[in-house]
Amino acid sequence: MEKDKNTKQGAATLAVPSGRGSRLARIGWMATGIAGGMVAEGARQLAQGNRPKISDMLLTPSNVRRVADQLAKLRGAAMKVGQMVSMESGDLLPPALADILARLRSDARAMPKTQVISMLDANWGKGWSKQFKHFSFTPLAAASIGQVHRAQSQDGREMAIKIQYPGVRESIDSDVDNVATLLRMSGLLPGQMDIKPLLRDAKRQLHDEADYIREGKYLQRYGELLRGASEYVLPQLYPDLTTHSVLSMSLVGGVPIESLIDAAQVVRDRVMTLLFALLLREVFEFRLVQTDPNFANYRYDTDSGQLILLDFGATRAYKAATANEFRRLLLGAMAGDRAAMAAADRAIGYFDQSTQVKHREAILDMGEQAFEPFGQVGGYDFGTTDLPTRIREAGMALGMEREFWQLPPADAMLLQRKFGGLYLLAIRLKARVNLHALVQSELGSRKRSS
């Protein structure tokens, strides 16, 4: 096998703690460092004649960096739960905690070559290199759970190999619990906020994402569902080299989706139309949704004009009843029918009979804003909207209400995340999309076929 010449292990790599003891110790060091930082800040404030609050001593820039850095070094579930809490509840969290967790969305460092070899030895057996003409130990990408390498098999297949970080699957439950305990004890999370449902679902989602055989099956399933839609391209799964911890696929090209900011308006509009059309099909036709809106999950083939879809680890099946309630919510918002929206919100779990009227009205207001792009006949200009700011302000206002700290069910939060992610991408690309027409087309075709 021809080996990659660029195998220097520098600042770009960092070994992943794989044992439970080493991972727990890392969290312990983080807690100790935070405590030390609080003592130092308290002494500094007292020396200046101030009477510092605990929150002021806790949320110093050095402590913020310390939490983010240690979670990033742990990677795996510890890093992922930070990302998830940030994505699901960022608008309702203290700014310092939001800053910590936001850093985790982009701060993933690759594991060194020695760990890559160890993982492949464990999954493919000794001598696996004989199956390849070339294997690059410099990863194409690194994220919270694994990293991707380029390779060429002896039979000529150009491949993308996703390798899971060691110990990730075994440490999911304990990592999630330990990080949640740390955040709770530190006072970084509001005391009224019940995050148990979020943590429970985080564990479920992480176990799903850490099973690459499961992801491979969903990759194949999406390939079947989109077989007649030539606008979309997916990698081909190679089952012979796929295990629970290693996912082997064909290498796809294209450019990063966000690089289309410099493309013609018609290209940007078309790309976002394809993404929103796919999401509507996922929710209302497939009832199977790839819930991770990370921009890195999409690429664009500038030659063929095809949209490339990647990463199906966060795929989630939805019940028909749930999809129908989201349909009622969407159509109610488009029609300005708050009674229909309220019935759907209650069925989904955004509020219940004990929720105060003012809080119900606030949720309905947020729903109307969230679906604003779908209600605009003739198309919505994401390049000029201030929608994220308005939703964020409404969310923060609701979050300040001490009597209301109710998170919606996981199914709802994941759809919120997916819709919100596409909104942000559309804003980045300054796209104009006729979502009103897309809904009429998708739901109309569903009605005709039923």
pLDDT tens, residue by residue, 53-65 = 444 444 455 555 5
Residue-level pLDDT at 8: 40
Give me the DSSP letters along 203-253.
Answer: HHHHHHHT-HHHHHHHHHHHHHHTTT-TTEE-PPB-GGG--SSEEEEE---
Is residue 54 in some structural domain? yes
Amino acid at the residue 284:
F
The DSSP symbol for 269 reads: H
Burial grade of 338 (CB within 10 A; 0-12, 13-18, 19 or more): middle
Residue 380 CA to residue 372 CA, distance in Å, equals 9
Under 8 Å between Cβ of 382 and 414: no
pLDDT band at 263 (very low <50, low <70, confident <90, very high): very high
Do 278 and 427 belong to one domain?
Answer: yes
Report CA Rg, the chain: 23
Question: Is residue 384 classed exposed, middle or buried when 0-12, 13-18 and 19+ CB atoms within 10 A define those classes?
Answer: exposed
> Do 369 and 390 touch, CB atoms closer than 8 A?
yes
Whether 423 is in a domain gets the answer: yes
Task: With beta carbons less than 8 A apart as the criterion, state whether 282 and 193 touch.
Answer: no
DSSP assignment, residue 45?
H
Alpha-carbon distance of 427 to 405, in angstroms, equals 29
Element (H, E) at 407: none
183 and 323 in a single domain? The answer is: no
In a domain, 199, yes or no: no
Give the whole-angstrom CA distance, residue 225 versus residue 233.
12
Distance CA 222, CA 312 (A): 9
With beta carbons less than 8 A apart as the criterion, state whether 162 and 212 touch.
yes
Tokens of 25: 């110790």
**What pLDDT does residue 152 have?**
97
Across 188-196, average pLDDT: 61
87 in any annotated domain: yes
What is the mean predicted confidence (pLDDT) over 348-375? 87
Q: Are residues 182 and 96 in the same domain?
A: yes
Is the predicted pLDDT of residue 42 greater than 80, yes or no? Answer: no
Residue 91: name the closest of 369, 426, 430, 383 by CA.
369
pLDDT tens-digit map of 74-108: 555 555 555 555 544 444 445 555 555 555 544 55
Q: What is the pLDDT of residues 385-414, one digit of tens each?
A: 988 778 777 666 665 554 555 677 888 888
CB 168 within 8 A of CB 207: no
Per the DSSP assignment, residues forming a β-bridge with 255 are 300
As annotated, the active-site residues are: 292
What's the domain range around 88?
Answer: 20-107+173-188
Torsion of CA 210, 171, 20, 93, to 10 degrees: 120
- For the stretch 130-147, pLDDT in tens is 999 999 999 988 776 888
Query: What does pTM read for this prediction?
Result: 0.78
In a domain, 201, yes or no: no
- Does residue 184 sit in the same domain as residue 272? no
pLDDT tens column, 295-334: 889 999 999 999 999 999 989 999 999 999 999 999 999 9
Same domain, 179 and 326: no
Do residues 441 and 292 both lie within one domain?
yes
SS3 316: strand
In angstroms, rounded to a whole number, what is the distance separating the alpha carbons of residues 326 and 427? 23
Token pair recorded at residue 99:
């800053």
- Look at residue 377 and tell me if it is in a domain: yes
Q: What is the pLDDT of residue 7?
A: 40
Lowest mean pLDDT among 131-140, 187-196, 277-286, 439-448: 187-196
Task: Tally Cβ neighbours within 10 Å of residue 194.
Answer: 11
In 3D space, the residue among 250, 298, 303, 305 whose CA is nearest the CA of residue 278 turns out to be 298
Say whether both 179 and 324 belong to one domain.
no
Lowest pLDDT segment from 176-185, 215-224, 364-373 = 176-185
The residue type found at 349 is G
Residues 181 and 281 in one domain: no
Q: Tokens 């130990």 appear where?
A: 137
**Per-residue pLDDT tens digits for 336-345:** 999 999 999 9
- Domain boundary (133, 159, 188) is at 188
What mean pLDDT value characterizes the chain? 78
Reference 264, options 385, 381, 384, 431; nearest CA is 431
Answer for the pair 373, 280: CB distance below 8 angstroms, yes or no: no
Same domain for 320 and 179: no
- pLDDT at site 442: 81
| 444 HSE (CA, 13 A, CB side) | 6
- Residues 180, 295 within the same domain: no
DSSP state of 304: T
* Together in a domain, 180 and 272: no
Token reading at 397: 């206002």
Starting at the earlier edge strand, list the strands of the sheet with 298-301: 232-233, 306-309, 298-301, 255-256
Residue 340's contacts (CB-CB under 8 Å, 6 or more residues apart) are 328, 329, 331, 332
Residues 111-126 pLDDT 10s: 889 999 999 999 999 9
Tokens of 336: 């300005």
Query: Is the distance from CB of 187 to CB of 74 less than 8 angstroms?
Result: no
> Is 75 domain-assigned?
yes
**392 found inside a domain:** yes
234: amino acid identity, one letter: L
Q: What is the pLDDT of residue 251?
A: 96
**Rounded distance, CA 38 to CA 62, Å?**
10
Nearest by Cα to 186 from 79, 104, 92, 67: 67
Query: Exposed e or buried b for every residue in 56-81, given b needs 16+ CB within 10 A?
Result: ebbbbeebbebbbbbbbbbbbbbbbb
User: Could you tell me if residue 126 is left (phi over 0), alpha (psi between -120 and 50 degrees) or otherwise beta?
Assistant: beta
| Confidence (pLDDT) at 426 | 94
Tell whether 319 and 179 lie within a shared domain.
no
Q: Considering its fold, how many domains does the chain have in total?
A: 2
